[in-house]
């Protein structure tokens, strides 16, 4: 029997296949079966919040089918107002309340919807199962055709939780915090619409690092290393590595290269140039206009995004599939 993290599998010298198992081994085996049954029953008694991207053409039919399937199995379903409207149902909760009321989030969409789910989960860090209805899909674990077998496995407790590092961000202006947020992928400080550079001052752990001129800078998690940072020339970092990464965007000085720092590091980026339109963008979804002197403080969050994964699907397999490694 292969052991998976958190599944309570027995391992070691005790064998469950002995022809004459001892009373001790039988006792362990019965405890193991009861544990699996109890946790599967516990999972089935939980409620599932569903988050969708309503612009997908097939989303209504998919949503209707999955809600019907879950309710037929007495699984509590919580819909946000948008999803409820798609099905013609009354009620629904605000997206900001979805994670506070549900025990698991089911995401029908792409990576952008997954990032939204990660922000909504916030402090509760409830498990998230992503179903890819978009394009590349680094974060979404399940293909649409495998949705129902995957849900069956979740209810049978046949999954692992992949905990991903998140960033805590505060934006300070004249000594006051004007914005804050927790992100899974990245924080981007960038120029406005005009084709002119911005200048920022970067410090790590209170120590001055550099003044950077260019189109901006990306501070990302290992999860975010396959997003905007990768397009800007940053490396791919295994999500198990507890680190942060800074990637310059089109730097004026070509010797400015991506920099990987420990996950415990605190990064401060101050906008020193006077440029209208400079922005701090959190996970590509929330934008905060910046003015000269604003400081973005970024550090590892105490919270984690918990993604539902299946043991046979490894990170390098995902990279190989999504980036087409070995093709051609």
CA atoms of 21 and 214, how far apart (whole Å): 69
Residue 160 and residue 6 in contact, taking contact as beta carbons nearer than 8 Å = yes
Three-class SS of residue 47? strand
Percentages helix, strand, coil for the chain (3-state, rounded to 5) are 30, 35, 40
Three-class SS of residue 22? coil
What is the longest distance spanned by two Cα atoms in the chain?
A: 80
Three-class SS of residue 175? coil
Q: What six digits make up the tokens of 126?
A: 């409830």
Backbone angles phi, psi at 197, to 5 degrees: -80, 160
Residues 6+ apart with CB under 8 A from 138: 111, 226, 227, 318, 322
Categorise residue 110: left if φ over 0, alpha if ψ from -120 to 50, beta otherwise.
Answer: beta
Q: For the beta carbon of residue 240, count every other beta carbon within 10 angstroms.
A: 11
Q: Which of 156, 153, 159 is nearest to 38 (CA)?
A: 156
Q: Does residue 111 carry a catalytic annotation?
A: yes
Catalytic residue among 38, 65, 103, 111: 111
Q: Which residues are catalytic?
A: 111
């Amino acid at each position: 029997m292969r052991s998976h993290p958190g599944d309570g599998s027995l391992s070691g010298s005790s064998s469950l296949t002995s022809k004459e198992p001892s009373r001790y081994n039988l006792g362990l085996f019965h405890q193991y079966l009861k544990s699996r049954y109890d946790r599967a029953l516990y999972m089935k008694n939980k409620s599932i919040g569903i988050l969708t991207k309503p612009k997908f053409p097939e989303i209504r039919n998919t949503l209707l089918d999955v809600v019907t399937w879950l309710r037929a199995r007495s699984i509590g379903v919580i819909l946000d107002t948008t999803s409820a409207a798609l099905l013609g149902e009354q009620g629904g909760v605000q997206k900001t309340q979805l994670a506070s009321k549900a025990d698991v989030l089911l995401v029908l969409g792409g990576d952008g919807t997954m990032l939204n789910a990660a922000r909504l989960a916030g402090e509760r860090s409830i498990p998230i199962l992503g179903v890819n209805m978009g394009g590349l899909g680094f974060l979404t674990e399940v293909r649409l055709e495998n949705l129902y077998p995957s849900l069956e496995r979740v209810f049978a407790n046949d999954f692992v939780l992949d905990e991903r590092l998140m960033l805590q961000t505060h934006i300070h202006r004249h000594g006051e915090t004007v914005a804050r947020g927790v992100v899974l992928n990245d924080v981007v400080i960038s120029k406005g619409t005009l084709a002119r550079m911005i200048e920022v001052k970067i410090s790590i752990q209170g120590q001055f690092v550099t003044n950077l001129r260019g189109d901006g800078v990306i501070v990302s998690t290992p999860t975010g290393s396959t997003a905007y940072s990768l397009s800007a020339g940053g490396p791919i970092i295994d999500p198990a590595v507890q680190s942060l990464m800074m990637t310059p965007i089109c730097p004026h000085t070509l010797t400015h290269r991506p920099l990987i720092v420990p996950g415990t590091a605190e990064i401060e980026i101050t906008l020193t140039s006077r440029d209208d339109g400079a922005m701090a963008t959190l996970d590509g979804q929330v934008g905060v206009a910046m003015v000269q002197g604003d400081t973005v403080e970024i550090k590892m969050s105490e919270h984690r995004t918990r993604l539902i994964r299946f043991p046979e699907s490894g990170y390098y397999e995902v990279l190989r599939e999504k980036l087409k490694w070995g093709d051609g």
